[in-house]
Structure 1
Amino acid sequence: MFWFWIIVGLIVMYILIKSVVIVNQYEMGLIFRLGKVAGILKPGVNIIIPLIDVPIKVDVRTKVIDIPPQEMITKDNAAVTIDAVIYYRVVDVDRALLEVQNYEYAIINLAQTTLRAIIGSMELDGVLDRREYINSKLLDTLDKDTDAWGVRVEKVELREIEPPKDIKDAMTQQMKAERLKRAAILEAEGEKQSKILKAEGIAQSLRIEAEGQAKAIKIVAEAAQQYFKDEAQLYKALDVTSLVLKDNTKYVISENVMDIAKKFVKQQ
């Protein structure tokens, strides 16, 4: 009898444990009762009927899935290997569980086929140069097609675009040539600028020197002009005095005196 009650107690405890379903805040879900949807699982504690109800929970946070690398053929028959990542989230739990068997696997396959179609319609140069266009085109297609599954594709990013080896080598050589060309142009521009600055420096030096010489000549000329002007006035005064007193009998000024005065002026 004792063991009977122990077994009954264990069964009751098992039923109580199985009748409680704890759902995290970032989860939602459905309750299937005998194969039919009987209710919705909400964050917190949910009560179900053990052995009859089957709870299925779905993470509704944004998730990231990798698109495995795959080789694709461009419009101009070049083989490229591309891989990508997709950011998505479940927005309708009912459709995510009822409309598609495995929405994550379905998204991966849909992304691969869509990406293959986009790359097949573009040439290699466009594939390499228009990454943002490919991302946008793939995002629009995936978001539209997965809407029926209750899934929203939020972002798509191409991680790697690997061209054929021969094309990759040619691109490397071209890049190297462009860098050498830019380096040569920069070096030539530097030499040109250096010569220009040097010439401007020489011109500036010559201009300053010429201005200095011009100022010196101007000062000398002004001084000479003033000096000769004063001397000319004195000569004129002495000449007038000599003419006035030449015939005067009261004052006799020797011509030697005039010569002495002129010499004195010159000395001054």
Structure 2
Amino acid sequence: MSGVTFFLLACLAVLAFIALMILLSAIKIVPEYERGVIFRLGRLMGPRGPGIFFVIPIFERMVRVDMRVITMDVPVQEVITLDNVTIKVNAVLYFQVINPNWAVTKVMDYIRATMQIAQTTLRSVVGQVELDELLAQREKINQKLQQIIDEQTEPWGIKVTIVEVKDVELPQNMQRAMARQAEAEREKRAKLIHADGELQASRTLAEAAKVLASEPVTLQLRYLQTLTEIATEKNSTIIFPLPIDTLKAFVTPSNPVNNDVRHSAD
């Protein structure tokens, strides 16, 4: 075999290897949860996939875009509420790409851009409400956050599905003040319940007094019943109230004859 023939065979082998590499690079496989956005000579050709397809080497370029829901933790933000209380609040954000063409062509990094929008919106929304509203109406705040962030990321082909405020960190002095307020509220409810019980008891006692006044004998029966109930305690000192009516039989009126003799002697 001459040297020329060997050189030609080597060149053919190199060309075949290059052709094989070009053919393999032209084959693209995209899974179900991704899309391949194709650019041909710099011009957008649209998404392809899922599955296997071919791209023209050198002339076409593919950018992979994940179509799954992305979970993102919004870092802790220090916010001053509407009633001038400084708090720290964080949140969690769920979003996904619904238009891969816009996500690639209209924003450089849609994940980082969405993160920045979420942080600024969280500070803005929480700063427009009072602390009590933030703590009591968490669902309303979440819906407002989701609506604002979704409107701002929609031109990028991003759909924000859920925004949840995770934690609200209060200063120590505010925590103590809220604890004192809650304690005062509990004491207020306890006093109201006690006063209502006293009112109902006084009405019941008034009705019982009317019944006892209509039949005086019932009062003595009540005394005897009370003595029966407390007689079981051996270490009890029993004080028995004696009705005045029982003493009338032992009180004698003055003698009218003696009174007349005393007057005539005078």
- State the 1:146 CA deviation: 1.6
CA deviations over 1:117-168 (Å, ceiling 9, x no partner):
1112112222222211110101111122221111111111111111122112
Q: Distance between the aligned counterparts of 1:60 and 1:78, measured in 2?
A: 40
With over 3 angstroms needed to count, the CA separation of the structure-2 counterparts of 1:76 and 1:16, relative to structure 1, is same
Q: Work out whether 1:31 is the aligned partner of 2:38.
A: yes
Report the alpha carbon displacement of residue 170 of structure 1 after superposing the two structures with TM.
Answer: 3.0
**8 Å Cα contact 2:28-2:52 kept in structure 1:** yes
The amino acid of 1:15's aligned partner reads I
Q: Partners in 2 of 1:112 and 1:90 — Cα distance?
A: 19
Query: SS of the residue aligned with 1:104?
Result: helix
Aligned to 1:263: none
Alignment of 1:46-195 (within 5 A): 46-172=53-179, 174=181
Shift of residue 72 of structure 1?
0.8
Hey, what's the Cα distance between the residues in 2 that align with 1:136 and 1:147?
A: 16
- Measure, in 1, the Cα distance between the counterparts of 2:47 and 2:26: 15
Q: Is the 8 A contact 1:41 1:57 kept in 2?
A: no
Deviations 1:160-207 (A, max 9, x none): 111122112333455567779999999xxxxxxxxxxxxxxxx9xx8x
User: Which residue of 2 is the match for residue 10 of structure 1?
Assistant: 17
CA distance in 2, matches of 1:176, 1:50: 74
Unaligned runs of 5+ in 1: 187-202, 207-268
Task: Give the TM-score, by structure 1 length.
Answer: 0.63
Contact in 1 for aligned 2:36/2:49 (Cα 8 Å): yes
Q: Secondary structure at the match of 2:126?
A: helix
User: Which of 167-176 and 22-31 deviates more?
Assistant: 167-176
Alpha-carbon distance in 2 for matches of 1:139, 1:83: 14
Q: Is the 8 A contact 1:63 1:89 kept in 2?
A: yes
| TM-score when normalising by structure 2 | 0.63
TM-aligned CA distance change 1:7 to 1:172, over 3 Å: farther
* Gap runs ≥5 in structure 2: 1-5, 194-221, 226-266
Residue type matched to 2:166 in 1? R
Give the CA deviation at 1:99: 1.5
In the TM superposition, what is the alpha-carbon distance from 1:100 to its structure 2 partner? 1.5
1:214-253, aligned counterparts within 5 Å? none
**CA separation in 2, counterparts of 1:101 and 1:93?**
13
What do you get for the CA RMSD once the two structures are aligned? 3.0
3-state SS of 2:142 partner: helix
Letter in 2 for 1:129: A
C-alpha spacing 1:4/1:76, structure 2 compared with 1 (3 Å)? same
C-alpha deviation, 1:52, in angstroms = 2.2
Q: Is the CA contact 2:46–2:101 (under 8 Å) kept in the aligned structure 1?
A: no
Cα pair 1:28 1:93 within 8 Å, conserved: yes
Give me the whole-angstrom Cα distance separating, in 1, the residues matched to 2:179 and 2:65: 47
Deviation of 1:82 (Å): 1.0
Q: Percent identity?
A: 38
**Moved segments of 4+, more than 4 Å:** 172-186
Partner of 1:155: helix, strand, or coil?
strand
